[in-house]
Amino acid sequence: MTPAKVLLHPLAKPVVFALGLLPFAWLFYGAATNNLGANPAEHLERSLGDWTLRFLCMTLAVTPLRVIVRAPALARFRRMLGLFMFFYAALHLLAYSWFDMGFDFDQIARDIPKRPFILVGFSAFVLLVPLAATSFNRAVKALGARRWQALHRLVYVIAGLAILHFYWMRAGKHNFAEVAVYAAILAVLLGWRLAQALQKPRAPMPMGAGLRRQPIRQRSR
């Protein structure tokens, strides 16, 4: 099977879906069997944050990869990866609200504006909600591809907020090694887009909305 055929195989999406659920299943199993170390709450919160960042990177990697290796079929996976990012971000927020705050919404409401790193993380999540909410085909149609795309460029802002959130979390402890790795990956992925945009100023973005019904326009080089 050629790579393109693998990507277009009817089982490809279910397989990616199952892979995307693996971290969740692993953490769930660890929590159920009390196998997450001395501080399971902290482990869950941090792991869920890590996986949010990883899915953010994967989502943003789809378009550059698709263009560079000329594999338009990769676009099929972008929405799912983006929704997995939302899934893990929501669980990350849930873990914080539950384990750290005991669902004391009064306290959460006071905690969010008081601490810049939580405010930044929470803002990123709030911005992520409309993207997740408009991820299905009918929403794209209703909005129109252009507006939909403009809206979904919010993900660049979200990426910046997410890395700032991570940076601030680690800043007090001067522990920047991992932050630097994620920041470098995101910088490359966003930098590639910037370079593309500068090369061809007014050209429409390559992949309208990742729609199946629209022909995938391959950006010419």
d(CA 96, CA 65): 34
Q: Check residue 39 for interaction with another protein (CB under 8 A).
A: yes
Collapsed DSSP state (helix, strand, coil) of residue 77? helix
The structure tokens listed for 138 are 């009918």
Cβ(89)–Cβ(128) below 8 Å: yes
DSSP classification of residue 202: T
CB of 162 to another protein, least distance (A): 17
Identity of the residue, 102 or 144, whose beta carbon is nearer to another protein in the bound complex: 102
Which residues are CB-neighbours of 79 under 8 A, at least 6 positions away? 135, 210
Q: Check residue 106 for interaction with another protein (CB under 8 A).
A: no
Q: How far is CA 29 from CA 25, 32, 39, in A?
A: 6, 5, 15
The one among 21, 105, 153, 175 contacting another protein by CB under 8 A: 175
Region 117-136 residues binding another protein, contact defined as CB under 8 A: 117-118
Q: How many residues comprise the chain?
A: 221
According to DSSP H, which parts of the chain are helical? 3-8, 12-32, 40-68, 78-95, 105-114, 116-133, 137-143, 145-152, 154-171, 177-199
Q: Check residue 33 for interaction with another protein (CB under 8 A).
A: no
Q: Check residue 113 for interaction with another protein (CB under 8 A).
A: no
The one among 100, 143, 151, 160 contacting another protein by CB under 8 A: 100
Q: Check residue 40 for interaction with another protein (CB under 8 A).
A: yes
d(CA 84, CA 112): 24
The one among 7, 44, 74, 120 contacting another protein by CB under 8 A: 44
Q: Check residue 38 for interaction with another protein (CB under 8 A).
A: yes
Applying CB under 8 A, the span of 13-21, 86-94, 97-105, 133-141 interacting with another protein comes to 97-105
Q: Check residue 174 for interaction with another protein (CB under 8 A).
A: yes
CB of 87 to another protein, least distance (A): 20
Applying CB under 8 A, the span of 5-13, 110-118, 122-130, 157-165 interacting with another protein comes to 110-118
CB of 6 to another protein, least distance (A): 37
Instruction: Please choose, from the candidates 108, 112, 91, 109, the residue with its C-alpha nearest in 3D space to the C-alpha of residue 100.
Output: 108
Binding site for another protein (CB under 8 A): 31, 37-42, 44, 98-100, 102, 107, 111, 114-115, 117-118, 168-169, 171-175, 177
